[in-house]
Structure 1
Amino acid sequence: MNLITEDSPLILVADDDKVTRACLRQAMEQEGYRVIEANDGESCLATFTRTQPDVVLLDAVMPIMDGFTCCNKLKDLDPEQRTPILMITALEDAESVNHAFESGAVDFVTKPIHWAVLYQRVRRLIKQVRLYAELERANQELKRLATSDGLTQVANRRHFDEYLDQEWQRSQREQAPLSLLLCDIDFFKPFNDTYGHQSGDECLQKIAALLQEAAKRSLDLAARYGGEEFAIILPNTDLEGAEQVAQDIQTNLQDLAIPHRKSQVGEIVTISMGVATTIPVPFIAPRMLIEAADRALYQAKDSGRNCYRTFQLP
């Protein structure tokens, strides 16, 4: 018997016959798979939802809910069909085989079970599941790389633009407030000139991490806007809420205390921020919110830096 671990593939066996379930369990466990059982269609659906198995071995002929109906319902629970279903049936006619595939099964074996065939088909399905999972992870990583800034790991400008447009449309539909923070590191060029570009990169990474932490909710987005400029999109946030985020950023940055002896506003790294808020309407474009935040940012710089200023669009 192969060693079974917590990482071993999980097989859901659904069959109303206790002896068949026991035989299938023994056969699958000998292959090194974990096994969980269901004795009818309803318990199969409940167990599937609770455990998310790698493969389902499903009997076609069961009382109350037959395997074809159960298979259809499993397909509804798993619309992307990440979990393959192998139908086990004593019905060998073409109509029943077609019915099995139309219901969502990806393969079948007939009763009495030819065990060597079952082993081979389950192995193939497990391999497909693993390959699909690897492909999905690779796609997620490619998506992350395409939408993240390589240095700071927060969202890049492209993602910022797409997300702002998305949230603008949603906020317009829901008539909800949308806020934007534009942040600029004060006297960053003198910092680079004094401490070197590696220290400059580390400074950008620390600021990005601090802003990422300030974007606490799942809807909030921290992004590198360009160079030493960052932005935070705050959906469903009014001006008061956005100001609170800005104040938290200032407090946390003060506590971080990154040395900057060439700064003209103290001995540590500081940032200036522009805060803008609006409830989007059809005749205003998202760039208007950016321009408002940018105007507030320049007001903060004109006011001596290391502060924030606000602008509320009508």
Structure 2
Amino acid sequence: MSAPGKFQVLVVDSSPGNRQLLSECLSQLSDVKVISAGEGNQALDLFAATQPSLIVMDMNLQDMDGITLARRIRGRERLGEEETLTNWTPIVFLSSVMDEELLAKGIIAGGDDFLHKPVSEVILLAKVRALLRIVGMQRDIHAAHRKLKEISTLDGLTSIPNRRHFDDTFATEWKRCLRAGAPLSVVLTDIDFFKQFNDIYGHQAGDACLKAVAGSLNESLFRVEDTVARYGGEEFVTILPGTDARGAIAVAERMRRSTRELCIPHEKGIDGLVSCSFGVSCIHPSAEATPQKLLHHADQGLYSAKRSGRNRVVLTQHG
């Protein structure tokens, strides 16, 4: 893959001499790195390995024609597309034959421009510069899309995943554990006496408390596959794929201690400090069980934890 700010151009030509001339010409562009291939299959391998920014190819190759190669490249782009954004790689055809029908077929197959051989160095450099400007704009659009996606799945206050991200991740992990026959655990967390905290210290302090607790919960997770999200208000939810009930209780206890060790003063809290209650549930996903059932049992555990004194972890077993 091209380095940030650098464009990689793939030259495809069966003639070593032509490849060298084209490479030397394109190397005049300071922001371009040139790689080359002598046949179509080699070009496909390089395309998959390097994801070039632009391709300059001869229409007549020894192992396949340029139109076939262009179709295969476009097919691989669609297979490797990221989310809803397709990666587009400009293709410039080179041909010693001026044939309008051939040109039309090439454009339909996925080509973007056509140059007659022998190629004018000035024209080639101008065409490449113009197409690379568009590629640069495409990079900016993809970066903006990734940023917007990240923002759309993060909670604006706490900067941890939001409810939307939780819903998507929970559905994905349920299916994954179902296929693997692995357990899936969920931990529901609620800040104890949070309404009273807001009433006493104000909403600004309440927001600071939510941020601190969210950070503490997140730092209590040691595996990349585990996820904690803001569930709503002062509630948080943690997904623990491949974790059994015993392991989930251990994670919840670590979270409970971590939030307690924040030592946030709370006049109406347990022993004068902010604390959290935790409901834990575990299940082996199956055709008979549902994700909603797992969440329901975790919610029952949370209710039991709050009813029995708060600042504790309660596991709800499935009957």
Shared fold per TM-score greater than 0.5: yes
Distance (whole Å) between structure 1 residues aligned to residue 173 and residue 190 of structure 2: 23
Distance 1:23 1:268, change over 3 A: farther
- Residue in structure 2 matched with residue 62 of structure 1 by the alignment: 61
- Residue in structure 1 matched with residue 136 of structure 2 by the alignment: 130
Matches within 5 A, 1:1-314: 7-41=5-39, 42-79=41-78, 80-172=86-178, 174-255=180-261, 257-314=262-319
Q: What amino acid sits opposite 2:233 in the alignment?
A: G
Partners of 1:183 and 1:272 within 8 A in 2: yes
Partners of 1:171 and 1:280 within 8 A in 2: yes
Q: What amino acid sits opposite 2:132 in the alignment?
A: I
Pairwise CA RMSD? 2.8
How far has the Cα of 1:290 moved from its partner? 1.9
Which structure 1 residue ranges, 5 or more long, are not aligned? Answer: none
Distance (whole Å) between structure 2 residues aligned to residue 282 and residue 96 of structure 1: 55
How far has the Cα of 1:291 moved from its partner? 1.8
TM-score, reference length from structure 1: 0.85
Indicate the larger mover: 73-82 or 148-157.
73-82
Q: What amino acid sits opposite 1:252 in the alignment?
A: S
Distance 1:6 1:232, change over 3 A: closer
SS of residue paired to 1:56: strand
SS of residue paired to 1:211: helix
How far has the Cα of 1:215 moved from its partner? 4.6
Distance 1:37 1:286, change over 3 A: closer
Partners of 1:40 and 1:65 within 8 A in 2: no
Partners of 1:68 and 1:99 within 8 A in 2: yes
TM-score, reference length from structure 2: 0.83
